[in-house]
Amino acid sequence: MLSLTQFRPKHLSYALSLAFSAFAASQMLATAHAAQDSAATETLSIERIFASPALSGPGIRALKVSPAGDRVTFLRGKEDDQSQLDLWEYHIKDKALRLLVDSKALVPDAGELSDEEKARRERQRIAQFNGIVEYRWSKDGNFLLFPLAGDIYLYRLNPKAGQDQVQRVTHTEAFETDPQVAPDGQSVAYIREQNIYFTDLNSGTETQLTSDGKGTLRNGMAEFIAQEEMGRYTGYWWSPDSEHIAFLQVDQTPVPITKRYEIEANDIRIIEQRYPYAGADNVHIKLGIVDTDNGDIRWVNSGQEQDIYLPRVKWLPDSQQLSYQWQSRDQQDLELRLVNLNESGTQALNSRTLVKDESDTWVALHDDLYFFKDSPSFLWSSERDGYRHLYRYDLNSGKASQITAGQWQVDALKSVDEANGWVYFTATADSPTERHLYRQRLDSNKPEHIEKITQAAGTHSVQMDPKGQVYIGTFSSRDQPPQTALYTANGERLTWLVENALNQDHPYQSYLAAHQDTEFGTLKAEDGQTLYYRITKPLGFDASKQYPVYYYVYGGPTAQTVTNRWDRRILFEQYMAQQGFIVFSLDNRGTPGRGVAFQAPAYHALGTVEVADQRSGVQYLRSLPYVDGDRIGMFGWSYGGYLTLMSVLKDPSSYATGVSVAPVTDWRLYDTHYTERYMGKPQDQQQAYDVGNVLNYAKDLEDPLMVIHGMADDNVLFSHTTQLYRQFQDNNILFETMAYPGAKHGISGQQAQTHVYRTIAEYFKRQLQP
How many Å apart are CA 757 and CA 364, to the nearest integer? 33
pLDDT at 278 over 90: yes
330 with 383: CB under 8 angstroms? no
For 77-101, what is the mean pLDDT? 89
569 with 757: CB under 8 angstroms? no
For 629-634, what is the mean pLDDT? 98
pLDDT value at residue 93: 86
* Closest by CA position to 627, among listed 535, 704, 713, 553: 535
pLDDT value at residue 344: 66
pLDDT value at residue 580: 97
pLDDT band at 346 (very low <50, low <70, confident <90, very high): low
How many Å apart are CA 574 and CA 572, to the nearest integer? 5
pLDDT at 581 over 60: yes
Q: Are strands 627-637 and 657-661 parallel, antiparallel or unpaired?
A: parallel
pLDDT at 36 over 50: no
For residue 623, give every residue at least 6 positions away whose Cβ sits within 8 Å of its Cβ, in sequence order, or none: none
- Tens of pLDDT, residue by residue over 519-572, are 999 999 999 999 999 999 999 999 999 999 999 999 999 999 999 999 989 999
* Closest by CA position to 404, among listed 389, 385, 424: 389
Task: Return the SS3 of 446.
Answer: coil
- Tens of pLDDT, residue by residue over 710-755, are 999 988 999 999 999 999 999 999 999 999 999 999 999 899 999 9
- Tens of pLDDT, residue by residue over 324-333, are 999 999 999 9
pLDDT at 8 over 80: no
* Longest CA–CA separation in the chain, Å: 86
pTM: 0.91
For 228-245, what is the mean pLDDT? 96
pLDDT at 2 over 70: no
Tell me the percentage of the chain whose pLDDT exceeds 70: 94
For 254-266, what is the mean pLDDT? 90
- Tens of pLDDT, residue by residue over 679-692, are 999 999 999 999 99
Residues that are catalytic: 638, 713, 745
pLDDT value at residue 68: 86
- Tens of pLDDT, residue by residue over 123-146, are 888 878 899 999 999 998 999 999
pLDDT value at residue 20: 32
Task: Return the SS3 of 181.
Answer: strand
pLDDT value at residue 81: 83
Side chain identity, residue 599: Q
